[in-house]
Structure 1
């Protein structure tokens, strides 16, 4: 049999590469002669660089030191994909989670965290002469509307006295004008923002209201940040960077989607774009089974997350799908087999403590189940 193993990361526990390797290891225990294709997936968040590095021949990881979301230096990287037709300088892949992500915070700071480091990595890719940018924006630590990105790319955010404003969502109300004379241009091939979040910038479904709590913002701070983002939108409109704050995806990554749209980038489905880039359809063409996975399989999975995208493409190709998840909180109807690490380990704590052990066991059990049919 030919098995395609295409999981997302189990956030906070194991990268997509580690998940795929562990499932494959378990499968080989039961069926050592099968042909296994490990194809780690992502949707624009954590693991985006890993997915491209694993699947794209000639992909090169470029190390860089940037300013992290709390102001401390962070050792990060971006990915250079080889030149192709129409893209002589190659494609730069930059992952927000790697440069300005929530796990990089020493402590949560919802009012002052920023995306400067993400912008610095984008600027480094531009300095290298890339012809196109793919910008994964999942996992943000901040609600700054992308102001840090724009500052790193050359914009100046000024208060009423013409002085530069501090970074962070809490400082957005102080901005009176944006000086864009030195704002860098997108490369000739443009930029795609990889995200499957469809929230607008502001309002009950906006960046602060929906995602602020996970970044440490209490109810009063979320209200302040929502108003701050509305002000930021008005300031950018006055500077000629006119983007409708109601645009689906503008609220992604604490409004970083909005800032990148204002710069001129376009939004795209993260999981779909990555599936195309890593050659998922070609891998499925000769597969007997595909295994998808993520940390928590629930109702939100169907909103365009990587497992849903992979499963839909497998269904279209007539390939059965098996599921491995840390926890399963939605119907498994339609799956050929499934395993929950929480159930295998006898509880969440045990599953989180040794995810690779239980991932191997999940892979072994699915192999045994498939072989018995």
Structure 2
């Protein structure tokens, strides 16, 4: 039996590569003669560069960039021919925010893009997701040479004094470079469904601060490109999507980008069963998450798709609406304590049990 194993990361415990290996380990215990094809996945968030490196090869270059509050943080640029891939979470992930969320800057992402361009890339793909910033991408623009009558690299709070922005310097630095924003987030920059209202609270923006912070981003949009701020994806990664769009980037779905890069459709057609997974499988998985994307590919290939997850938080009806035949929970099998203490072993145990049902 041929089994395609294509999970996302299990946030906080396992990378996508580690999750795929853990599932394969458990599956082999039960069905050692099955042919397993491992295809770790990502949607543009954490793990984006690692997954593409595993699939495409290329050269990884270590760089040092500014974290959300100015401290130096390590990151990498993946170069494959004339294309460079970078990941915003490496520079501005929530784990790097060590101060007020309202002053967290996206400058480091701009420095990543600049490092890619200075390294000779003619196309730069920026994976968006897992951001701890909410500054509309102002810090990114500042790193690339944009100027203003206020402060662009002090987070959303710095935008309170901004009324004019000159993007000429940034555009000049990127002349001849194609930018791609890899994200599945459809939110605009501001408003009821914007970056601040939707994602601000999980980044540390207080509920009582949302209106004012969103107002700062409104003013920033008015000073740069109000129309672009309303486009789908402008609110991705706290507005880094907006900054990239303002600089002429095209937007491609992160999961679709990775799916194409790893030739997932072709591999699914060769499989008898597709296995995906993530840390928490819930109905939000439909919003561009890996399991929904993998299930769609499996459906087109007329192959069944199942999910292994840390927790399963949907019923059978919702599960099938997401294209998943069955979903299985690590926490239900081994308990929450062991699921977090030994995540790879626990996931392998779950995979072994699931193989009893699904392997021939």
TM over 0.5: yes
Report the 3-state secondary structure (helix = DSSP H, G, I; strand = E; otherwise coil) of the residue aligned with 1:344.
helix
Distance in 2 separating the partners of 1:187 and 1:24: 45
Report the 3-state secondary structure (helix = DSSP H, G, I; strand = E; otherwise coil) of the residue aligned with 1:338.
strand
- Listed as ranges, the matches of 1:184-203 within 5 Å are 184-186=172-174, 188=176, 190-203=178-191
Q: Which residue number in structure 2 is paired with residue 170 of structure 1?
A: 157
- Structure 1 residues 180, 188: closer, same or farther in 2, change over 3 A? closer
The offset of 1:41, in angstroms, is 0.5
RMSD between aligned alpha carbons?
Answer: 1.6
Residue of 257, 266, 281 corresponding to 1:273: 257
Distance in 2 separating the partners of 1:148 and 1:280: 35
Q: Does 1:340 align with 2:329?
A: yes
List runs of 5+ in structure 1 lacking aligned partners. Answer: 84-89
Q: Do 1:10 and 1:295's aligned partners in 2 also have CA atoms closer than 8 Å?
A: yes
Q: Does 1:364 align with 2:355?
A: no
Q: Which residue number in structure 1 is paired with residue 207 of structure 2?
A: 219
Report the 3-state secondary structure (helix = DSSP H, G, I; strand = E; otherwise coil) of the residue aligned with 2:202.
helix
- Listed as ranges, the matches of 1:230-245 within 5 Å are 230-237=218-225, 243-245=227-229
Distance in 2 separating the partners of 1:139 and 1:187: 28
Distance in 2 separating the partners of 1:32 and 1:307: 25
Q: Which residue number in structure 2 is paired with residue 113 of structure 1?
A: 104
Q: Which residue number in structure 1 is paired with residue 88 of structure 2?
A: 96
Q: Do 1:196 and 1:304's aligned partners in 2 also have CA atoms closer than 8 Å?
A: yes
Q: Do 2:67 and 2:73's aligned partners in 1 also have CA atoms closer than 8 Å?
A: yes
Distance in 1 separating the partners of 2:337 and 2:346: 12
The offset of 1:102, in angstroms, is 0.8
Residue of 120, 128, 137 corresponding to 1:129: 120
The offset of 1:92, in angstroms, is 0.7
Q: Do 2:14 and 2:343's aligned partners in 1 also have CA atoms closer than 8 Å?
A: yes
Q: Which residue number in structure 2 is paired with residue 157 of structure 1?
A: 148
The offset of 1:262, in angstroms, is 0.6
Q: Does 1:142 align with 2:133?
A: yes
The offset of 1:142, in angstroms, is 0.9
Distance in 2 separating the partners of 1:67 and 1:222: 25
Report the 3-state secondary structure (helix = DSSP H, G, I; strand = E; otherwise coil) of the residue aligned with 2:349.
helix
Distance in 2 separating the partners of 1:8 and 1:327: 14
Q: Which residue number in structure 2 is paired with residue 47 of structure 1?
A: 47
Per-residue CA deviations over 1:24-67 (Å, capped at 9, x if unaligned) read 111111112222111110110011011101111x3221110011
Mean Cα deviation higher: 216-225 or 35-44: 216-225
Q: Does 1:294 align with 2:278?
A: yes
Report the 3-state secondary structure (helix = DSSP H, G, I; strand = E; otherwise coil) of the residue aligned with 2:103.
coil
Q: Does 1:327 align with 2:327?
A: no
The offset of 1:185, in angstroms, is 4.6
Report the 3-state secondary structure (helix = DSSP H, G, I; strand = E; otherwise coil) of the residue aligned with 2:73.
strand
Q: Which residue number in structure 2 is paired with residue 86 of structure 1?
A: none
- Structure 1 residues 200, 335: closer, same or farther in 2, change over 3 A? closer
- Structure 1 residues 329, 111: closer, same or farther in 2, change over 3 A? same
Q: Does 1:60 align with 2:51?
A: no
Larger helix share, 1 or 2: 2
Distance in 2 separating the partners of 1:187 and 1:328: 46
The offset of 1:285, in angstroms, is 2.0
Q: Do 1:3 and 1:36's aligned partners in 2 also have CA atoms closer than 8 Å?
A: yes
Q: Which residue number in structure 2 is paired with residue 206 of structure 1?
A: 194
List runs of 5+ in structure 2 lacking aligned partners. Answer: none
